[in-house]
Amino acid sequence: METAAYVPAINLHGILPFISLLAGGMLCLAADAMSGKEGSRRILPVISFVALAAALVSFLLPGYPTGSFLENTFYSDSFSRLGCIVILVSAIATTLMGPRQVIRRNLPSGEYYTLIVFAALGMVLLALANEMLSAFVALEIMSLSLYVLTGIDRRSGKSAEASFKYFILGAFASAFFVFGSGFLFGSTRTTFLADAHNYFATRGGNMPEGAEMWAFIAFGLVFVGLCFKLSLAPFHMWAPDVYEGANTPTTLYIATGSKVAAFAFLIHFAHAFSSWQIFTAPVTFIVGLIAVASMTWGNIAAIVQSNLKRMLAYSSVAQTGYMMIAVMVLVALPSLQAAGNLNATTIANDTTLIYNAISLYLAGYTIISILAFGIAFHIGGEGSMAAYRGLFHRKPFAAVGMAIAMFSLSGLGFLPPTIGFIGKFYLFKEAVRFNMTGIAVIGILTSVIAAFYYLSLIVTMFMKAPDEENGIELAGRREERIAGLGGGDAIVRVMLATATALIFVLGLYPGLFTGLAAKAVTTKPMTTAMVKK
Amino acid sequence: MPLLSLIIFAPIAITLVGAIFSPPKQMRLVALVSMLVGLALTLFAACTQFDWSGNHTAIVQVYGDSAQSSFQLRESIQWLSDFKISYIVGADNLSMLMVILTAVLGVFGVLCSWKAIDRREKEFYIYLLLLQTGIMGTFLALDMFLFYMFWELMLIPLYFMIGIWGSANRLYATMKFVLYTLVGSVLMLIAIIWMYFNNGATVDGVDTLTRTYSYEVMLATQQGSAAATFHHALWPFLALFLAFAIKVPLFPLHTWLPDAHTEAPTAGSVILAGVLLKTGGYGIIRFCLPLFPEAAVSFAPAITWLAVIAIIYGAWTAIVQTDIKRLVAYSSVSHMGFVILGIFSMNPQGMAGAVLQMINHGISTSGLFLAIGMLYERAHTREMSKFGGLAHTMPVYAALMLVMVLSSVGLPGLNGFLGEFTVLLGSMHNVPMLLDAQNPVSFAAYMNMTHYTWLVAGLATTGVIFGAVYLLILYQKTFFGKPAGAHDDHSHDAHHGDSHGHGGSYPDLSIREWGQLAVLGVAALFIGLYPKPVWKAIAPATRDALAPVATTLDKRIAELPNPGVKLASIQSETRLAAK
Amino acid sequence: MTSLLQPNLILATLLFTIGILGVMWKRNAIALFMSVELMLNAANLAFVSFAHELGIMSGGILVLFVMTVAAAEAGVGLAIFIALFRARRHIRVDEHDTLHG
């Protein structure tokens, strides 16, 4: 060490989103403390919206670092950047639904908005993390905020119970994560994933005694931990209860934001192992197994659900299963390279393509979820199917929107193609390209099972007469009337309309979304030297 | 002028605009105008712009890949360039015939809903026109992805049409219809993706691949080359075939059809029977045979047997039906079996007969469904036992129905006879089966049945006979005998107190109603008596569809261990095919 | 000097397994939570033993973080238990069946 003092290399643009989210969260707390109930109800949504939007913009600005930054702790590739954008969009959607939700259930607005922003901070950190300790802390920032958001409605027993279940299983998963990190540290002597990658590349063939097994244990434990967070079968049992019990905006947030973050980290994590020759074959198999289990079980269990939110929970299990197909391809790529089918340049291209496929799928899933949960929120009734009987006759726009969401989720390709369809198409295309036709066929056949329950909801909305005596629809509305709510409605409507438009626009021009990442790469390739400067 | 795009999109565009401005009750007029515009455009294209000689070829460029194409009126726009997907439409004789059929039946689809649809009219006609768009697009798309899009587009509108305006058991029927079709179409998607990645030829062990969704480029790459990559692909063929066979529907994948037909509103049944089923046959002729000749020849004997089973099973099941619509639905299974039988005979007669049979079935079965719909509007029941003696009270109806029934039966002089007869002729020289009989380990060789193609033809002929049985039973029970209302008065009135008094005495057809049937009747007579123009239009389609298969068949024949006496006859058949 | 790594890891795995079994079998919320804490501490033990064996400090530092986070988790967790207790008047998990997961 010839330099006198060690100056950490900090890329300001890189941490700008973190700063803005942290500041936003703090500001929310402070503003809540300084203003009364009504005041904070009015001002907090604005603050949190601005903070989230600022973070979003800093990701969209050209020149966001690519590659490692902040002393290798974070790694920004096209996937994690797109993931962060999706996370922030989902957080913004949650915030936009906030004002109505806060009044509807008389929630403490200070905690509500602060936690949304802090959860977003955790998610963004997790999506970019490339080091186990930072990832763990990020995971906990995210999870703790979400546990509380789930249980924030203290008047509802369901909410408390959901929060409790989420907490126990979430903490359980975190423990797996940490224990796994310990073994990774033990086998590769580092908690930095980039170093682990190098370690596997240079010493993967002749690791010291025990280290090989530890590395496998490490992957297994961290993978299980992430599977819990991603609600992949068979680690999905918390999802239906939490989705049903949590308030609808939080459900949306859990379904989209937390999943995107965990997914982005899973990809960083899997990438660290990808340079390890003996790793690919068994892990490809395991990932494939999880994908098949999630697709089939999620879709089959969704059929029998009588609550919309539970149904969407199981459907999200299946949707994550579809994404695991892409992870499977990603994990298998190095072995294809070793077999001589690919060279290094195409492997880089292919990786980008698969990243695009997954991020497009995640973006699609998020936008569709915003539409679906948004309409569920708009209608009220906490997801009870009775509220949807003959919805078309009472609220045609909501019914059509929900139908678009359902068609799009099922991935039916009707003209014009929706983002849900393009996402699935892209995924299956990547799978077929690498001769994983078998899993693509399983995936697409399970999507037929999925079509059954999506279409059943459409049957309920369009083809059944409305139930005259159902008071469920009014449950949320009555409280709003009592609270004298007028505003917030228009915002939600605009949000839903935007989501609907995006479903079609991104379906027709998926390049608009994936291009967001490409732009960042081409405008300013970031090297370590530039960071240091 | 983008004529084909106008044919596909102009009607739905007019309807959507009209839906904004028109009151619900006038929506039918908007829909009628849209359909008529579509028909006018189609006829304009078919009569003045389209070259029916089948000699049209051009070099086309799709994403930098050039190919020779026999499609006319082509339009090509880059669409999703990220995925090399383009919007290409074009027509050849086969698709043009189907488009004409679709355009004509579309008009009838509106006319038969004129009074029958009395609630949520706007939605209904939008779905109907969307369905029309999907079908037109399916027949005209030349990009595999676009084809898939249109194929899926057909699904949703019919799903709503059956689900909202159908009869009692509609929700079950519509769900069954969608799920059956979806299984096929999603597998087709995987096959299409596979085709995208594997299109090319293997030369000296090295794959030279052209990644494309363009049908024309694929066809040019794959055609007749033994080195082509699709050559030994079995499962993509099966995936595509499954999708099309479900739509046709081929036994044992047919079970959705009777339910869907029975529960659908008349317009739904008419379009479903008239054109939707044809998309299956069209798909097989367009994609399965030319792109996968090897697999098609290998599976042909098995598929032929399924077709024979479909013909006989459909006819037998139709005999025992008491619900008129269900009866006609099963007759569709039987009649569409002839289409498959003809296609997989892989000789010119069989193929031409199959195409004609598709057109005939479109005319006669739609006519039957139209007629039944008219009856249903009056009686609100489809039970055969509730009718009787209609010939006395509704003479015009009886006469027109007779034409439709006889056309469906296959009476010489009407269209049905020509199609079925030609298919049967073709099936006697079912080339893949003759080849199969030469194979020493085949079932046919084991049974020493060198003439088993005749067995196939003979069994299929019984289907024609049973067809006569059930259709004439239908006609006899409903139109002759004494009015069923005589002994069924009470219950009938109890159910439909507002309807027209005693069972069997309903008002005869209005001009709108008999006009529809008359047009179809004239078409049936015309094809039956003067088929020459139709044959001429079909011939190029037959030739194009069989050319790649003929190469494969030639090769298979050359590979036979001991070419015997039969070989000469097989060879002559294939020569015919190659011509 | 013989390495303590092996026995330490075995102990950590044992603790972790006990924790897993506890989460799966215990029916009292507090006991559940204790089991989760046990798992986290098993992880800490593994970290410390590896750090000691490899002579790398960062493993030990990580333990501090895990402990801090575990404390935060305890805070949130207990608050949730209290909320649940208020709603239900007990914290026996097997009777929380409003949500039928």
pLDDT in tens, B384-420: 877 777 777 788 888 888 888 888 888 888 888 888 8
Q: What is the mean pLDDT of residues A490-510?
A: 88
The pTM (predicted TM-score) of the whole model is 0.88
Confidence of residue A518 (pLDDT cuts 50, 70, 90): low
* Global ipTM: 0.92
B partners (3+ CB pairs within 8 A) are: A
Q: What is the mean pLDDT of residues A340-359?
A: 76
- pLDDT per position as a tens digit, B358-383: 999 999 999 889 888 888 888 888 88
- pLDDT per position as a tens digit, B155-194: 888 988 888 888 888 888 888 898 888 888 888 988 998 8
User: CA torsion, points B171, B174, B177, B180, in degrees to nearest 10?
Assistant: -50
Q: Exposed, middle or buried, B83 (CB in 10 Å: 0-12/13-18/19+)?
A: middle
From A415's Cα to the closest Cα of chain B, the distance in A is: 6
Residues linked to residue A307 through DSSP beta bridges, in sequence order: A384
Instruction: Yes or no: say if B387 and B496 are a contact pair by the CB < 8 Å rule.
Output: no
Overall residue count recorded for chain C in this entry: 101
pLDDT of amino acid C14: 94
| Strands B72-80 and B65-69, bridge-based pairing | unpaired
Overall residue count recorded for chain A in this entry: 533
Return the SS3 of B248: coil
Q: Does A340 touch chain B (CB under 8 A)?
A: no
The one-letter code for the residue type at B435 is: L
Instruction: Yes or no: say if B9 and B133 are a contact pair by the CB < 8 Å rule.
Output: yes
Q: Does B186 touch chain A (CB under 8 A)?
A: yes
Residues 460-499 of A with CB under 8 A from B: 462-463
Q: Does A111 touch chain C (CB under 8 A)?
A: no
- Copy the structure tokens of residue B244: 């099309």
Q: Judge: A185–C40 Cβ closer than 8 Å, yes or no.
A: no
Q: Measure the CA–CA gap between B87 and B300, rounded to whole angstroms.
A: 32
Q: Measure the CA–CA gap between A261 and A46, rounded to whole angstroms.
A: 24
Q: What is the mean pLDDT of residues B315-344?
A: 89
Nearest chain A residue to B174 by CA distance is: A459
Please count the other Cβ atoms lying within 10 Å of the Cβ belonging to residue B99.
Answer: 25
Q: Judge: C69–A137 Cβ closer than 8 Å, yes or no.
A: yes
pLDDT of amino acid B464: 87
Could you tell me the CA-to-CA distances from B458 to A292, B438, B443 in Å, in that order?
47, 21, 18
Nearest residue, CB atoms, A437 vs list B82, B182, B194: B194
Could you tell me the CA-to-CA distances from B54 to B70, B545, B574 in Å, in that order?
8, 12, 20
Nearest chain A residue to C53 by CA distance is: A186
From B226's Cα to the closest Cα of chain A, the distance in A is: 23
From B163's Cα to the closest Cα of chain A, the distance in A is: 6
Q: Exposed, middle or buried, A280 (CB in 10 Å: 0-12/13-18/19+)?
A: buried
User: Using a CB-CB distance cutoff of 8 angstroms, which residues of chain A are in contact with residue C87?
Assistant: 154, 156-157, 160-161
Q: Does A504 touch chain B (CB under 8 A)?
A: no
Confidence of residue A144 (pLDDT cuts 50, 70, 90): very high
Tokens 């505003």 locate to: A487
C partners (3+ CB pairs within 8 A) are: A
Residues 70-99 of B with CB under 8 A from A: 80-83
Reference B139, options B296, B15, B267, B4; nearest CA is B4
Return the SS3 of A72: coil
User: Using a CB-CB distance cutoff of 8 angstroms, which residues of chain A are in contact with residue C59?
Assistant: 182, 185, 191
Q: Does A456 touch chain B (CB under 8 A)?
A: yes
Q: Judge: B190–A414 Cβ closer than 8 Å, yes or no.
A: no
CB environment C46-55: b (16+ within 10 A), e (fewer): bbbbbbebbe
Query: Which of C80, C89, C90, C91 is the best mutation test for A, with the most CBs of A within 10 A?
Result: C80
Q: Over 50: is that where the pLDDT of B326 sits? A: yes
Residues 205-244 of A with CB under 8 A from C: 237-238, 240-241, 244
Nearest chain C residue to A210 by CA distance is: C6
Q: Judge: A455–B187 Cβ closer than 8 Å, yes or no.
A: no
pLDDT of amino acid A338: 67
Confidence of residue C96 (pLDDT cuts 50, 70, 90): low
Is it the case that chain C and chain B have 3 or more CB pairs lying under 8 Å apart?
Answer: no
Mean pLDDT of chain B: 82
Q: Measure the CA–CA gap between A6 and A2, rounded to whole angstroms.
A: 10
User: Using a CB-CB distance cutoff of 8 angstroms, which residues of chain C are in contact with residue A154?
Assistant: 83, 86-87
Nearest residue, CB atoms, C62 vs list A133, A172, A237: A133
pLDDT of amino acid B449: 58
From B235's Cα to the closest Cα of chain A, the distance in A is: 11
From A421's Cα to the closest Cα of chain B, the distance in A is: 10
Q: Measure the CA–CA gap between B331 and B310, rounded to whole angstroms.
A: 10
Query: Which of A115, A136, A165, A185 is the best mutation test for C, with the most CBs of C within 10 A?
Result: A185
Q: Per mean pLDDT, which of A207-211, A378-382, B130-134 is the most reliable?
A: B130-134
Is it the case that chain A and chain C have 3 or more CB pairs lying under 8 Å apart?
Answer: yes
Nearest chain A residue to C19 by CA distance is: A172
Lowest mean pLDDT among B74-88, B302-316, C15-29: B74-88
Structural domains present in chain C: 5-95 (1.10.287.3510)
From C2's Cα to the closest Cα of chain A, the distance in A is: 16
- pLDDT per position as a tens digit, B38-62: 999 999 988 888 888 878 788 888 7
CB environment A264-276: b (16+ within 10 A), e (fewer): bbbbbbbbbbbbb
The number of helix segments (H) and strand segments (E) in chain B equals: 26, 6
Lowest mean pLDDT among A163-172, A199-208, A502-511: A199-208
Q: Judge: C88–A160 Cβ closer than 8 Å, yes or no.
A: yes
Q: Does B193 touch chain A (CB under 8 A)?
A: yes
Q: Judge: C72–A147 Cβ closer than 8 Å, yes or no.
A: no
**What is the maximum span of chain B, computed from C-alpha positions, in angstroms?**
81
DSSP string, C52-76: HHHT-HHHHHHHHHHHHHHHHHHHH
Confidence of residue A485 (pLDDT cuts 50, 70, 90): very low
Nearest chain A residue to B180 by CA distance is: A448
pLDDT of amino acid B207: 67
From A301's Cα to the closest Cα of chain B, the distance in A is: 17
User: Using a CB-CB distance cutoff of 8 angstroms, which residues of chain A are in contact with residue B133?
Assistant: 415
Q: Measure the CA–CA gap between B32 and A43, rounded to whole angstroms.
A: 56
Q: Measure the CA–CA gap between C21 and C26, rounded to whole angstroms.
A: 8
Lowest mean pLDDT among A367-376, B216-225, B323-332: B216-225
Lowest mean pLDDT among A35-49, A196-210, A469-483, C45-59: A469-483
Q: Measure the CA–CA gap between C23 and A468, rounded to whole angstroms.
A: 46
Q: Over 50: is that where the pLDDT of A484 sits? A: no
- pLDDT per position as a tens digit, A222-267: 999 999 999 998 888 899 999 988 989 999 999 999 999 999 999 9
Alpha-carbon C9 to chain mean position? 16
Q: Does A437 touch chain B (CB under 8 A)?
A: yes
- Give the 3-state secondary structure of B366-386: HHHHHHHHHHHHHHCCCEHHH
Instruction: Yes or no: say if B149 and A414 are a contact pair by the CB < 8 Å rule.
Output: yes
Q: Does A157 touch chain C (CB under 8 A)?
A: yes
Nearest chain A residue to B85 by CA distance is: A508
CB environment B184-212: b (16+ within 10 A), e (fewer): bbbbbbbbbbbbbbbbbbbeeeeeeebbb
Query: Which of A115, A150, A164 is the best mutation test for C, with the most CBs of C within 10 A?
Result: A164
Nearest residue, CB atoms, B148 vs list A413, A432, A452: A413
Sequence-ordered strand ranges (E) for B451-498: none
Nearest residue, CB atoms, B179 vs list A413, A451, A508: A451
Q: What is the mean pLDDT of residues B85-99?
A: 90
Q: Up-side HSE of residue A46: CA atoms within 13 Å toward CB?
A: 7
pLDDT of amino acid B579: 42
Q: Measure the CA–CA gap between C44 and C62, rounded to whole angstroms.
A: 8
The values of phi and psi at residue A504, to 5°, are: -85, -40
Find the angle CA(A273)-CA(A287)-CA(A146) to the nearest 5 degrees: 90
- Copy the structure tokens of residue B175: 């769900």
DSSP string, chain C: ---SHHHHHHHHHHHHHHHHHHHHH--BHHHHHHHHHHHHHHHHHHHHHHHHHHT-HHHHHHHHHHHHHHHHHHHHHHHHHHHHHHHHS--BGGG--SS--
Nearest chain A residue to C97 by CA distance is: A161
Tokens 């892989």 locate to: B346
**What is the maximum span of chain C, computed from C-alpha positions, in angstroms?**
57
Q: Does B155 touch chain A (CB under 8 A)?
A: yes
- pLDDT per position as a tens digit, B499-542: 444 455 777 778 788 888 888 888 888 888 888 888 888 888 88
